[in-house]
Amino acid sequence: MTSQPGEFDALLLPGGYSPDQLRGDERFVTFTRDFVNGGKPVFAICHGPQLLISADVIRGRKLTAVKPIVVDVKNAGGEFYDQEVGGR
């Protein structure tokens, strides 16, 4: 991975099995941590917050998540926001 967080305007974390695979590679965890700490927008879908948990960046933040990882979000210090996210 040769990209740097400064090269992008936003980060989209996919759902499904991808976050579980990505968080096993420290390069992606570090990239995600640096991106979040840079203050740019991050969008996490479905299981996407798993990568944010591994990057240790959700403490004190409000976020949505798929039900199976709500406990993980809370254990990592995140505030689970149980609302639908709409695009309008």
Find the catalytic residue in 22, 36, 44, 46.
46
| Residue 62 · residue 81 · CB < 8 Å | yes
In the annotation, is 46 catalytic? Answer: yes
Do strands 79-80 and 42-44 pair parallel, antiparallel, or not at all (unpaired)?
unpaired
Counting every residue, how long is the chain?
Answer: 88
| Residue 38 · residue 57 · CB < 8 Å | no
Of the candidates 62, 20, 57, 2, the one whose C-alpha atom is nearest the C-alpha of residue 35 is: 57
Residues annotated as catalytic are 46
